[in-house]
Structure 1
Amino acid sequence: MNTVIRTENLSKRYGGAYCVQRVNLAVGEGEVYGFLGPNGAGKSTTLKMLLGLVKPTEGSVSVFGKDFSRNRLEILSQTGSLIEAPSYYGHLTGLENMRVMQRLRDVPDKQVEKVLQIVRLEKQQNKKVDQYSLGMKQRLGIAMALLHFPKLVILDEPTNGLDPAGIGEIRELIQSLPYQYGMTVLLSSHLLSEIEQVATSIGIIHGGKLLFQGSMEQLQQKNQPQVWLKTQDNEKARRILQDVETSPILQDGFLVMEGMGDREVAQTNRTLIMAGIDVYRIEVHKQSLESIFLSLTGKEGSL
């Protein structure tokens, strides 16, 4: 897979404090890359550096295999973005706003019509934007980002403030961009549930540092299931299992063990039964993605 975005030790410091520190992103062609982190984690600052809106303190950015600092205009001509909130003229209609962007991008009329259809605004295109709902304004902002059918789309919190129906519409739109239009999408969010449903790859940032990067499957592999046993005498069972090189801990009336497969669980059960200890319950507990996220970012990192 070709790499569309690559950063090396990308950092931004304000005064003596880093808000982004040594971030190494790798976004593959055709991916929906979910950039996940709590509010204030450094997501927006990172995206702004990718677009040249903020100058990095250290590090480099490569897009489409080219150094951004030397090929800025060429790269931006193939990139669409929506950062923080859409920009628009409220006294103009949606179509009139798109015409303004059309002149800036120098694209034909048919592309205006096409992107308004893609974001499902064709029926509201003649309404003034001040009369749009928040979801319609977000879709207009995405339409502006898609107008020139870029190879790369960067969206910063595109579902922020939307109701469930609006979130669903934006999610469907984002999922369609790679396979229908060949676009690569870099999407930031503080909502794990949204990233989980649309992203093919994920990067988790917290305190300005990239804590994890990889596929959803790789993130799930960080989840080591635990086996919880409840017995007739947990303290005695714990001592017996320690003698056979198992290291259970007592927690909430259970013996908790990690890294056990089916055979090990069966052997543990036989060991306790042969020692005369009844086993009342065997449970397997797996962390949710939310739990993994919190374990990576710390309990203070709200979703």
Structure 2
Amino acid sequence: MVQVREVVKVFDGKEVLRHLNMSVERGTIYGLLGANGAGKSTTFKLISGLLQPNTGAIQFDGEEIQVQDRKFLKEMGILIETPVFYEHLSARENLEIHLAYMGCKSTAIDNSLQMVGLADTGKKPVSKFSLGMKQRLAIARAISHSPKLLVLDEPVNGLDPMGIRQMRELFLALVKDYDMTVLISSHILSEIEYIADRVGVLVNGSIAREVPMSEVREICPEGLEDYFVNIMSGGTEK
């Protein structure tokens, strides 16, 4: 679904990403891991066409992404950094505007709100939503147009443990029942461990390791956290 090949991204003369290579297989969940400032959000913005690489290429669903060609955005659901809404409008009205902008029918709004647990918010303005409710709405917006690929940067921020579990189950269901592919980052490594089929570890602007979760479990029976810490501290786990 996504192929990133030898991508370099420079900001203010500094290479934030260097010779980045990664591969996200169709119908899977890919967990992108990295320390703060490692370049995860930049990577997601490049894949979403919100930024353009200085060198290298990114393919989505077999075609190279061009920033000036936005047609592929209809095939992506994106949640990167803090979501922004029309605060005086309801959840439903926000989704209606989003779908109108995307040129999509609004028939999936009720289902999207139901899936994220916001079906009963009615005409309540988003300004009255908690942080967790806004995060749920951002996820609803990302899935409302039935994209092929979900790009989710820290999607469970602000959610309580019950909400985190509900979103975990939702992401798994989206892959299984709706044929979506999910690219996700989270500081909560246990959540990535629960749902990911494959993980990539971003270190110094490059993918240091890209392995199936089954392999991680073989190498580190203690879990993904130990695997991640070992790599970040210069360990030799392959």
TM-score (norm 2): 0.92
- 2:199 pairs with one of 202, 209, 226: 202
Q: 1:287 Cα deviation (Å)?
A: 4.8
Q: Does 1:162 align with 2:97?
A: no
- 1:25 pairs with one of 19, 22, 26: 22
Instruction: Tell me the secondary structure at the aligned position of residue 199 of structure 2.
Output: strand
**1:93-242 to 2 correspondences below 5 Å:** 93-223=90-220
Instruction: Tell me the secondary structure at the aligned position of residue 72 of structure 1.
Output: coil
Separation (CA, whole Å) in 2 of partners of 1:206 and 1:125: 44
* Identical aligned residues as a percent: 38
Contact 1:64 1:75 in 2 (8 A): no
Q: Does 1:292 align with 2:215?
A: no
Separation (CA, whole Å) in 2 of partners of 1:206 and 1:17: 15
Contact 1:31 1:185 in 2 (8 A): yes
Deviations 1:220-261 (A, max 9, x none): 3434xxxxxxxxxxxxxxxxxxxxxxxxxxxxxxxxxxxxxx
Instruction: Tell me the secondary structure at the aligned position of residue 32 of structure 2.
Output: strand
Separation (CA, whole Å) in 1 of partners of 2:122 and 2:8: 41
- 1:82 pairs with one of 61, 76, 79: 79
Matched letter for residue 16 of structure 1? G
Contact 1:8 1:23 in 2 (8 A): yes
| Total equivalences in the alignment | 234
* Structure whose CA Rg is larger: 1
Contact 1:40 1:207 in 2 (8 A): no
Provide structure 1 residue ranges, at least 5 long, that are not aligned to the other structure: 224-285
Contact 1:11 1:18 in 2 (8 A): yes
Matched letter for residue 11 of structure 2? Y
Q: Does 1:49 align with 2:46?
A: yes
Q: Does 1:72 align with 2:7?
A: no
Give 4+ residue runs of structure 1 displaced > 6 Å after superposition: none
Separation (CA, whole Å) in 1 of partners of 2:154 and 2:189: 12
Contact 1:48 1:54 in 2 (8 A): yes
Q: What is the RMSD computed on CA atoms of the aligned residues?
A: 1.8
Instruction: Tell me the secondary structure at the aligned position of residue 61 of structure 1.
Output: strand
Greater relative contact order structure (CA < 8 Å, 6+ sep): 2
Question: In structure 2, do the counterparts of structure 1 residues 166 and 70 end up closer, same or farther at CA, with 3 Å as the change threshold?
Answer: closer
Q: 1:192 Cα deviation (Å)?
A: 1.3
Separation (CA, whole Å) in 1 of partners of 2:124 and 2:44: 31
Separation (CA, whole Å) in 2 of partners of 1:106 and 1:16: 38
Q: 1:38 Cα deviation (Å)?
A: 1.5
